Amino acid sequence: FRCFSSALTPDLKNALDKVVTSNKVVLFMKGTKDFPQCGFSNTVVQILNSLNVPFETINILDNEMLRLGLKEYSNWPTFPQLYIEGEFFGGCDITVEAFENGQLQELLEKAMCS
Amino acid sequence: KEEMGVTKEQVESSLTSKLKPSHLEVIDTSGGWCGASFAIEIVSEQFEGKRLLERHRIVNGALEEEMKQIHALSIKKALTPEQWKQQQESKKI
């Protein structure tokens, strides 16, 4: 199966716009928050859990078009992908680094209080 | 088959030709369970004035072809030569 056209259809783009703006924190990941299916996704789930922040997770393994479309939407090639207040924040490394230097807590606090 | 193909050497050579790093370390962390994965430390002048997210995007972009087959890329360090020098010096103390 080869796909030469864009996976990010206008419908998918609209749906993603809605998901990332109607939730303050959204994590697109492999698996679910209760059952992460990859170590990198698990790391970000654990960080968000430890910060006690409410977040939505979306399992990209459920839907191949979603998985492909998201890579274009975020301009980011791998998962997990974390969105905060409608904006792409980063993947696992960036989230870990921001957690360790306190920037993630700061940003989430701001997001929760806005 | 899709999983075949990307080697540490390929990753190194793409990064070297595109980002002209003054320091580069690529570690193959595949180890089996999720697929091809690499950890990278890279120092390049092209990161000058760029935030971390933008630096990572530059690295991802340089590996656009390889990323189709890479499961995970862990960018441990993406530093400017100046930041790298400071880090090396602080280690000596």
The mean per-residue pLDDT over the stretch B63-81 comes to 90
Residues A61-84: tens digit of each pLDDT: 999 999 999 999 998 989 999 999
With beta carbons under 8 A apart, name residues in chain A contacting B67.
77-78
Average pLDDT, chain A: 93
User: What pLDDT shows up at residue B1?
Assistant: 39
Tell me whether B74 touches chain A (CB under 8 Å). Answer: yes
- In this predicted structure, the answer to whether residue B46 has a pLDDT above a threshold of 90 is yes
Q: Please, which pLDDT band fits residue B2 given cuts at 50, 70 and 90? A: very low
B92 or A100: which leads in pLDDT = A100
Distance of CA A54 to the CA centre of its chain: 13
Determine whether the interchain pair A93/B76 forms a contact, defined as Cβ–Cβ distance below 8 Å: yes
Tell me whether B39 touches chain A (CB under 8 Å). Answer: no
How much is the pTM? 0.85
* CA distance linking residue B26 with residue A12, whole number of Å: 35
Which ipTM value was assigned to this complex? 0.75
User: What pLDDT shows up at residue A2?
Assistant: 54
Determine whether the interchain pair A39/B34 forms a contact, defined as Cβ–Cβ distance below 8 Å: yes
Q: Work out the number of other CB atoms within 10 angstroms of the CB of residue A102.
A: 9
- In this predicted structure, the answer to whether residue B59 has a pLDDT above a threshold of 70 is yes
Q: Please, which pLDDT band fits residue B3 given cuts at 50, 70 and 90? A: very low
Pairing mode, if any, of strands A25-29 and A56-59? parallel
Question: Distance of CA B50 to CAs A38, B45, B54, B80, Å?
Answer: 29, 10, 6, 9
Q: Any idea which of A4-8, A23-27, A77-81 has the lowest mean pLDDT?
A: A4-8
% of chain A at pLDDT higher than 70: 96
Among B33, B67, B76, whose Cβ lies nearest the Cβ of A77? B67
A86 or A4: which leads in pLDDT = A86
Tell me whether B30 touches chain A (CB under 8 Å). Answer: no
- In this predicted structure, the answer to whether residue B34 has a pLDDT above a threshold of 80 is no
Average pLDDT, chain B: 89
